[in-house]
Chain A
Amino acid sequence: MAIEANGKTFETDEEGYLTNLGEWEPAVAEVMAAEDDLELTSEHWEIINFLREYYEEYQIAPAVRVLTKAVGKKLGKEKGNSKYLYALFPYGPGKQACRFAGLPKPTGCI
C-alpha cells in the first residue's frame, strides 16, 4: 500500500502506517487525516509534534498518561485528559495520532 502526498509516494503497511519513519513529512499527516475525514488544526499538530519528539527520545509512542500530562501542561489542565484527545482523534490518540505522526502502530493488549 502507499499514499500520495506532496507529489511523492510513501509506502505504508496494510494498516496504513508509514513503512519508513524517516520519510515522514507534514503533508503525510494531512493526507492521512483527509482520508479519515479530519482536518488538522493547530491542536492536532501539538499532539503530532509531541508524539514525534517523544518517539525520537524513547523509540516508542508515549503512554496515554504521559501524553495527557504533557498536553495538560502545555495547553491547560482542562485539556489534559483522554476525552480531549479522543475528541481530536476519534480512533484513539495512540493509534490514529501515531499513524498521522508516522510512528509504528503500538501493539499489545491495548
Chain B
Amino acid sequence: MAGAEFETPELSEYIEVPELVEGTMEHITCFVAKPEHQEDLGFPGEKVENWKEVAIDKMGDLLSRYRSFQVFMDACVKCGSCTDKCHYFLGTQDPKNMPVGRQDLLRKVYRRYFTFAGKYFPKLVGAVDLSEEIIDDWYSYFHQCSQCRRCSVFCPYGIDTAEISMAAREILDSIGVGQKYCNEIIGKVHKIGNNLGLPGPAIADTLEGLEEDVYEEDEVAVKYPLDVKGADILLVTPSADFFAEPHVDGLIGYGKVFHEAGVSWTLSTKASEAGNFGMFIGSYENMRRVSLRIREAALELGVKRIVFGECGHAWRIAYSFLNTLAGPFDFLDPDYPVPQHICEFTLNEIEKGTLEFDKSENDDMSITFHDSCNVARASRMGDTPGGQFEIPRKVIKAVVNNYHDMEWDTIHERTFCCGGGGGLLTDDLMEVRVKGAKPRMSAFKNVMEEKGVTHLAAICAICKSQFTKVLPYYGMDMFQIVSVHQLVSNAIVLNRKTPPEEAPGYGEDDDE
C-alpha cells in the first residue's frame, strides 16, 4: 500500500542550511496505540478525560525524578547553536524541527505551570496553557525526533533533546496517547521475548537453516546454539538479526567468529532481543522490564559473559544503564567487560591472532562506516576514549582492502542519524524518514563520487533497515547497506575443521 505522496529532497554537495518554511511537517502524525497495546505497558488505554491535569502532574513527576530534565527546561539561552544541527530540520525546513523549536514545545508549558514568571506573567516569558493543539503538536513533533543527540554535541549547555523527547512521549503515554509502533513492539517483548514476536520454534528453525547454509558453503559445521545451559557466552542481539537482510549476514558472521575463537556461546529465546524500545518512550519501568529478561536468561543459562550484537540503542542501554537497570552482574566473570560489544570481542580475537582473513573476498566492495547515533554519542566501547569510533573501523579494516571515511563533520560524534532511529522506523512516518536521511545520504553520495565507495556498513539494526528503505528514494540501491560482521563473515577463513558427525542433518534420512 503506497504511503502519502511527498517529494524526496535533492542531494547537494554541501549541507546547506535551508530557508525556514513554517508548518511543512505539521501534517505528520503516526498511528496511535490501541488500548491493548497501551494497557500491556501499564498506560491508560485511551485518552483520559482529565488529560490536562494528568499531563501536568506527569511533567511535575518527571521534573522531580530527573534533575537533568529540569536543567534542560531552564538552561536554554536561545543562542542558536543547535538550529542547523538536526537532520530532520535540514531535510524538512520546518522550524519546529530545529532542536530549540522542538524543546520549546514542551518548555512553554513547563514555564506556565512550573516557573514563577510563567505563572504570573506568562506572555512575558512565552508561557502558554496546555491545550488540545499543543498535545497534537507534541504527538507530531516528538515523533519527528530520533533521539540521536547530535544537537546536544553543539549545545554549549549540553541540553539533550533526546531526553526532552523521551519525557514528552512519557507524558503522552500517561494520558493514554501512545504511539502504536513502539508500544505494540514493547508489548511483544514482554509477552514473547522480542520486537518481532518470533516464538522460540521459529528462532530455532531459522538458526538451523543458517547452520545448513554455512555448511553448504564452507563445509564447516559452525553452530548457532539456542538456550544451551552452561555456555560461556550469552549473545544478545536484535531480533532483526534472525529475520531481515543484511542483518542476518551479520549474525552468520558472529557465529563464525565464535567458532574460530573456540568459545562456547549461546543465544536465548528469553533474551532474544537486544533492542529496548522502553528507552524511546522514556519509560523507566518498561525499559527495566525488558532489561530484566537479559539478567534472567544469563542466570538460567549459567553463562559467564554477555556479548551484545550489532544494535545501536541496545548498546547505549547495555553500556550505560544495564548495571543499574538489571544488575548487579556479580555472577559473571569479572575478567571481561560487562557487557561486551561483538566488535570488541572480534577485535580482541584479531589482535590475539586467532582469526585469519582473506580480505580479497570483499574486493567487490569499497566500504565506508556509518557511526550509529546511540553508539557514537551515548556510549563508549573498549577501554579508551573514542573506542566506539575506532573499534568498528579497526574490525572493518582488518577484513576489507578498500575503506574510506565520509566527511569529518558527518562521522564520529558528529555523525548524522540514519533518519529512522528512536522509534520512527515505521511506514506511517516514511516522509519523515526519507527527508531526515538527506544529510546522511548526501555524505554517502559524496564519498561514493569522490572515493569510489560502494557500500555503507553499520552496527545497528534500525540503521540497516532504514537505509534499505531510503537508499532507493535517493536513486541508490537497497543492497548498498551491509552489516559489519557480514564483511567479517565474507573474509574469515574457517580453519577449525569439524568432524563429519557435526554436520547439519548428519545421520538423518534425506527425505527431500
Contact = CB atoms under 8 A, between A and B. Distances in A.
Real binding pair: yes
A41 interface: no
Contacts of A69: 209, 213
B243 A63 contact: yes
A66 B207 CA distance: 10
Contacts, number: 95
Q: How large is the interface on A (under 10, 10 to 19, 20 to 34, 35 or more residues)?
A: 20 to 34
B425 A58 contact: no
Contacts of A36: 1-2
Interface string B155-199: 000000000000000000000000001001100100000111111
Contacts of A110: 196, 240, 243-244, 247, 461, 465
Contacts of B462: 109
A106 to B, nearest CB: 6
Interface string B403-430: 0000000000000000000000101100
Determine which residue in B181, B199, B205, B461 has the highest number of CB atoms from chain A within 10 A of its CB, and name it.
Answer: B205
Interface string A45-80: 000000000000011101111100100010000000
A20 B345 CA distance: 45
Contacts of A82: 245, 479
Contacts of B195: 107-109
A63 B206 contact: yes
A16 B1 contact: yes
A68 B280 CA distance: 33
B248 interface: yes
B11 to A, nearest CB: 23
A107 B242 contact: no
Contacts of B1: 15-16, 32, 35-36, 91, 96, 99
Contacts of B425: 109
Interface in A69-105: 69, 73, 82-83, 86, 91, 94-96, 99
Nearest to A96: B1
B465 A109 contact: yes
A95 B425 CA distance: 13
Contacts of B248: 63-65
A86 B465 CA distance: 15
Interface in B210-237: 210, 213
6 contacts: A15-B31, A65-B245, A66-B209, A82-B245, A96-B1, A109-B465
Interface of A: 14-16, 32, 35-36, 58-60, 62-66, 69, 73, 82-83, 86, 91, 94-96, 99, 106-110
Pick the 9 closest A-B CB pairs, nearest first.
A108-B195, A109-B461, A58-B202, A109-B240, A108-B196, A110-B244, A63-B243, A16-B1, A63-B206
